[in-house]
Structure 1
Amino acid sequence: MLKLWSPLLLGGLFAQQVLSSASSPGAVISSHEGVVDLGYAKYRGKRSNSDTWVFYGLPYAEPPLGDRRFRAPQALNITRVSTAYNGTIVDATRQPDFCVQDLGAGSEDCLKVNVYTPANVKKGSKLPVLCYIHGGGWSYGVPTAWPFDHWVQQSPNVIIVSVYYRLASLGFLATPEFYNSTEGVFNAGLQDQFEALNWVQRNIGAFGGDPRRVTLNGESAGATSVLHFMAPHINVEQRLFSKAIVQSGVRLHMGKADEMAPSFQFYATQAGCGEGDLKKKMKCLREAKLEALTKANKALMLDPTSPGMIFTPVFEAPVFHPRNSVDFPRIPVIVGATTNDTVFDGDLVPSLKSAMPRLTANEIQAIEEYYPPSAFESERHRTRNVLGEFMFFCSRVFIGKGYKNNSWTFRYNQQEPDSRWPQEPGQVGHASDNYMMFNGSRTFDNGEYHFSGLNTTQTAFAQEIIAYWLSFVRSGDPNKFKLPRSPVWKPFRHGNARLVLQQGPDEDLAQSGLLHERELKEERERCAFVGTIRPDTVGGILGLID
C-alpha cells in the first residue's frame, strides 16, 4: 500500500546553538599512520585508494538508545568518549552499522559520519568541505551505498562528510501531543542532520577542513532536507554552510502534526503500546524491543487497513516557499532534476490526491483541464509528466529564480540501466544520477545495495559531473575547475539556460556529451501554472524515494 509523507515541523528544531567553529585542538591526519586526533579521541582511518583516507563511523551525537529513543539528539559527550578510550587509537576502518530501515534492518546506535580526506592533507590546509545527506524518502538509505573515495581521488582538494541519521518511525514519529511535551520530539531525523553539521563545525579542522567553506549536498529526500536548512532564519544565522547542491529536491506542502495522529495510534497499538496517555505510550515504546517497533512500522507501510501517512517530516510553518524568492539567502546553488523525474505510476486523479492530499476539487479539475489526456500517449504517461513537473522539474525553475545570479541549473539526461523506478523505454527516471555518480550504485530494500560498475564511457561522463560539483565546492563556481572538455556552465540568468548532463560518444572519450539548452516556451508556461497551485498543497511523495 502506498503511503504519504507530509513535510517539516520545525518547532524547536533549531533551538540548539552552534558551538564554536574553531578547529579542534588535535593534529590533522598523519600521512604515515592514518590517524586523526580530535582532542577527545584519536581515530585510525583506512587508505581506500592511493589518494584517499576514509574514516568510517565517527560518532557525532550520543547513541539514541533507551530513554533517548524518540528524542532530540544529544551532542556527543566528549568527556565520556575521552574517558572510555583513554588515549587509545580507535579503529575507524570498517563500515558502521547503518540506521534502522523501514523494513527493520540496521541499528539504533547509528548517529555517525564517514569522513573522506585526501591522503596528502596537512595541518592548516583549510580545504573546502562537502556534507552529503542521502535520499531514501526519510525511510531507508545507507551512506556507504554512495561512496566518495573516487571523488577525492579525482580531486584531492576537498574533504567529504557523509551523514547517517534516524529513519522511518525512529526518526520521524509524530503526534500533535508532542507539543508542549517532553515525551517526544518532532523530526528527530532532521535534528540528527543538524547535529551532524554542528559536529562538522567543531571538528572538521582536525581533518584539515575549513568550517567556513562547507557545501551541503543531497539527493531526493536528502535534497529536500537541504532545502529546509537553506531557510534564512536557519542557515544565515547559524552559518552551517555557505553553498548548496540540490538534486531532485521536492516542492513541499504544509503538513500538520494532527494528520499524523491516526498513524501514531496505529503504530503504538501494533507495537503493543496503544493504551493510556502519551506518557504511558511513550514509556512503552521506549522500552519495547526493536523488533516490535519495526514490525509496527512495516504494518503502517503495508497494511491496507492502516492510516495513509507514514512517518516522515511534518511542519506547521512554511520553511521553504518556492515562489517567495525574497526569503532566499543569496548563497550559490546548483539545482536540477532528471528528465523524467517522478515516483508515481498510475492514474492521474488518484495520484494527485495521494501526492497532494489538500488539493480542492476545483484545483484537481484545473489540473486535469490544463493537462488533457489528448496531450499524452497514455494515462500512465500523463500521470508521470504531471507529477514530475509538480514535484521535481519545476522546482528547478523556482529555486533558480529565487537564487537569481547565484544559481546553475541542470537536466540529467542519461538513463540508468534497469532502474528500480517505473519508467518507459528511453526515459531517465528518478535517482538515475546516483547510478552514474557512485560507480553504478544500485539500492534495494532494507539496506541492501551493490555496485554494477561503469564502463569507460560512463566513467568519463561521471568524471565530468564530479568535476563540476567539486569545482563548485572549492570555488562557488562549477566552471573554475571543470574538465577541459566540458562546456562552460552558464548561470541560470542567461536565458534560463540549463546544462544537459549526458554521456559523450563511445568512440571519443575526449569529447563531452554535455550541452546547453533554453527552456521551451511550453515548459515555462506549464511551470507558471504549477506555481499558481497553492504551495501548501504541493509536495507529498511516497516513502519510496531514493
Structure 2
Amino acid sequence: MVTVAQGRLRGRIHDRAEEFLGVPYAAPPVGEARLRAPREPRRWDGVREADRLAPACVQFAPFGLADPSAVSEDCLYLDVYRPKGARAGARLPVILWIHGGAYAMGTGTQFGGRTMADLTNTVVVSINYRLGQLGYLGLPELARENARRTGSFGLLDQVEALRWTRRNIAAFGGDPGNVTVSGQSAGSASVCGLLAAPSAAGLFHRAVLQSGPCTLIGTSDSAQAESRAREFAVRAGCGDPATVTACLRAVPAATLVEAGRTVPTSGPASGDGLLPVDPAAAIRDGDWNKVPVLIGSTRSESRLFVALSQPRLTEEEYEAQILAGYGAAGPEVLARYPVSAYGSPYLALSAVMTDSSFACHTSWTARLFASQVPTYVYEFDDPDSPTLAGTQVPGLDMSNAHSAELAYLHDFTAGDRPLSEVQTALATRMKRYWGSFARFGSPAVPGQTVWPTVGRGTVLSLNPAATRTGSSFDADHQCGFWQSRQERGAL
C-alpha cells in the first residue's frame, strides 16, 4: 500500500518487483478539458486498485499497438515499478521513461520496468502523454488559454508527470532529488524539449537520449505551427476562427485522427513560454537545464524506415533517389555509398540515411553537451537483434534498426521475439550501466567495461560478444563527409 497526494494505492507483486499500474498524474483531458494544459487529478476515497494498465492515448498513426482498440482520450496515467520490499524513505534513484512514436503513436504501457527496478535497485516510472493534434496543436486561440501560451500539450503533460513524480515518488521509495528523464526517438526529442524548457528546471537531474539527437529532431517555430494547425482545423471541419476552439472540443476524436492523416503533427513548437527557443539552439548557447547526459543510437537505425517504405528498392531506383535528393552532391554520395560496398540497394540506402541523420547527429549533439556537462555516448550493435513486431520484411536484414535496443532495457511487449541467453546477458549489462548513470550520473559498473566521458570521440559499443570502447564512430559513419556537406548547405 502506498499513499500519494490523491489517496491510497494498492499495487501488486510481479516477479521480483512491485508495480503500481494506471496511476493518474493529471485529470482526464476530455470534454472542455480537451486541448487544455493538464490539471491535477482529483482525490479518491478508499483504496484505488493499481493493478491494471491504463489505455493508450488516442493514436494518430495506424501502427504501434497490439490492441488498437485499447485507446482513450482519458489517458494521462503512469506506471511505477519498484524493487520488491522497497519502502517510503529508501531514496532510490528514479528513472522516468518517455516513449517514442513520432509524437503520433505508442504508449508507456509497453515498457515495463520490473527487471530494471529489481536489477538496479531503482524506481522506474513509465508515462503516457497526449499524441497527434490532441497533444500538439499550435493555434494561438488555444495557447492563450494557458500560462505558457503554448499548444504543446504533450510536452506540458511530460512536465506535469515530472511534477507528480517530485511530489509523490518518495512514497514509493524513490528520491525526488535524483530523477533521470529518459526517452527514445520522439521520446528522446521530448527529453531535448525538457532540457530546454525553463518550467522543467529542477524536476530532473540526469538525461538519457536514445535515437533522438537534439540537432536532428528540431521544433517548428510558432508561425509554422500555426499554419499547420489552421490547415488541420479546416480538415477537421473547424475552419471558422471565431468558433475553432469550441468546434475542436466538440468533434469526435475519430474526426481529429482522420484529419491528422492528411496533416500530420510535427510535435512541439518553439517560440512560446514553454520552449522559448529550439532545444538544439538552447544547448548550443548554454541556456538549458544542465545535467549529465547519456546519449546514443543503434548502428543501423534507418533499416527500419527503408524496410517499411522501400523494401524492394532496385539499384536504379536507389541511384535515382540519391541524385534527386542530394542534387549536386548526389554523385559524391553515390561514390561513398556504392551498392557494391553494401550488398543491396536496401542496405546502401539504409547506410546513407543512418549516417546522415541519426549517427552523425548523435555525435554532433554529444559534442554540444560534452563542452558543458559530463557526457557518455554509446552505439548499440547486436547483429542479430530483434526488431519491432509486425515490421519484419522477409529477406531483409533489420538488425540494429531503430528501436532495436528497447527490448534490452525494458520488459518490452512490442518486440518480434524473445532475447537469447547471450542477448539477455548484454541486456543485463546495459541495465546496470543505465542504473549506475541514474544513481551517480556516471555509468561506472564494477566488472564491466569502463565507459569514459565522450572526450576525443570515445564511444561505448554495446555488442553481445564484446562491449568495448573506441574512437572510430565518426569514421565508421563518415561524419566528416556529412559535416562538410552540411557546412556547404548541401543537405
TM-score of the superposed pair, with normalisation by structure 1: 0.75
Q: Offset at 1:439? A: 4.7
Q: Does 1:203 align with 2:168?
A: yes
Q: Offset at 1:312? A: 2.4
TM-aligned CA distance change 1:228 to 1:529, over 3 Å: farther
- Give 2:33's aligned amino acid: R
Name the structure 2 match of 1:324.
Answer: 284
TM-aligned CA distance change 1:325 to 1:398, over 3 Å: farther
Of 423, 448, 464, the residue aligned with 1:503 is 464
3-state SS, counterpart of residue 398 of structure 1: helix
Correspondence 1:163-242 to 2 at 5 A: 163-175=127-139, 178=142, 180=144, 185-231=150-196, 233-235=198-200, 238-242=201-205
3-state SS, counterpart of residue 469 of structure 2: strand
Of 364, 379, 404, the residue aligned with 1:411 is 379
Of 281, 284, 289, the residue aligned with 2:247 is 284
- Give 2:467's aligned amino acid: L
Q: Does 1:135 align with 2:100?
A: yes
Of 143, 159, 162, the residue aligned with 2:126 is 162
Q: Offset at 1:417? A: 3.1
Correspondence 1:93-492 to 2 at 5 A: 93-102=51-60, 103=62, 105=69, 106-155=71-120, 157-175=121-139, 178=142, 180=144, 185-231=150-196, 233-235=198-200, 238-250=201-213, 251-260=216-225, 263-274=228-239, 276-277=240-241, 279-297=242-260, 301=261, 306-307=262-263, 309-316=264-271, 317-321=277-281, 324=284, 326-327=286-287, 330-342=290-302, 344-345=305-306, 364-365=326-327, 367-368=329-330, 370-373=332-335, 375-377=337-339, 380-404=346-370, 406-414=374-382, 415-417=384-386, 419=388, 420=391, 424-425=396-397, 427-439=399-411, 441-442=413-414, 452-479=417-444, 481-482=445-446, 484=447, 486-492=448-454
3-state SS, counterpart of residue 401 of structure 2: coil
Count of matched residue pairs: 454
TM-aligned CA distance change 1:288 to 1:440, over 3 Å: closer
**1:338–1:429 Cα contact (<8 Å) kept:** yes
**2:387–2:403 Cα contact (<8 Å) kept:** no
- Give 2:48's aligned amino acid: V
Distance 2:431 2:396 in 1: 27
- Give 2:433's aligned amino acid: Y
Q: Offset at 1:408? A: 1.1
TM-aligned CA distance change 1:283 to 1:239, over 3 Å: same
Structure 1 unaligned residues grouped into runs of 5+: 1-34, 354-360, 444-450, 505-512, 539-546
Q: Offset at 1:66? A: 0.8
**1:232–1:328 Cα contact (<8 Å) kept:** yes
Q: Offset at 1:406? A: 0.8
Name the structure 2 match of 1:543.
Answer: none
Q: Offset at 1:266? A: 4.8
3-state SS, counterpart of residue 124 of structure 1: coil
CA-to-partner distance for each residue in 1:494-545, whole Å, 9 max, x for gaps?
x3111111113xxxxxxxx2112212664351353365377xx98xxxxxxx
- Give 1:503's aligned amino acid: P
Distance 1:122 1:268 in 2: 48
**2:5–2:168 Cα contact (<8 Å) kept:** no
Q: Percent identity?
A: 27
Query: RMSD across aligned C-alpha pairs, in angstroms?
Result: 3.2
TM-aligned CA distance change 1:122 to 1:182, over 3 Å: closer
**1:440–1:452 Cα contact (<8 Å) kept:** no
Distance 2:329 2:279 in 1: 25
Distance 2:196 2:97 in 1: 18
Q: Offset at 1:461? A: 1.3
Distance 2:301 2:96 in 1: 24
Distance 2:104 2:319 in 1: 25
Q: Offset at 1:74? A: 1.6
CA-to-partner distance for each residue in 1:329-356, whole Å, 9 max, x for gaps?
5421111101111264367899899xxx
Name the structure 2 match of 1:4.
Answer: none
Distance 1:439 1:97 in 2: 18
**1:129–1:161 Cα contact (<8 Å) kept:** yes
3-state SS, counterpart of residue 351 of structure 2: helix
Name the structure 2 match of 1:41.
Answer: 7
Q: Offset at 1:215? A: 0.6
Q: Offset at 1:285? A: 1.9
Structure 2 unaligned residues grouped into runs of 5+: 63-67, 272-276, 311-316
- Give 1:500's aligned amino acid: S
Distance 1:64 1:352 in 2: 44
**2:37–2:146 Cα contact (<8 Å) kept:** no
CA-to-partner distance for each residue in 1:374-398, whole Å, 9 max, x for gaps?
6321665454333323331123222
TM-aligned CA distance change 1:331 to 1:49, over 3 Å: same
CA-to-partner distance for each residue in 1:265-285, whole Å, 9 max, x for gaps?
5543444433x22x4122122
TM-aligned CA distance change 1:331 to 1:258, over 3 Å: closer
TM-aligned CA distance change 1:119 to 1:215, over 3 Å: same
3-state SS, counterpart of residue 230 of structure 1: helix
- Give 2:210's aligned amino acid: Q
3-state SS, counterpart of residue 321 of structure 1: helix
TM-aligned CA distance change 1:521 to 1:70, over 3 Å: closer
3-state SS, counterpart of residue 114 of structure 1: strand
Distance 1:424 1:328 in 2: 41
Distance 1:232 1:270 in 2: 31
CA-to-partner distance for each residue in 1:95-146, whole Å, 9 max, x for gaps?
1111111147411111111111122223321111111000111111121211
Q: Offset at 1:200? A: 0.7
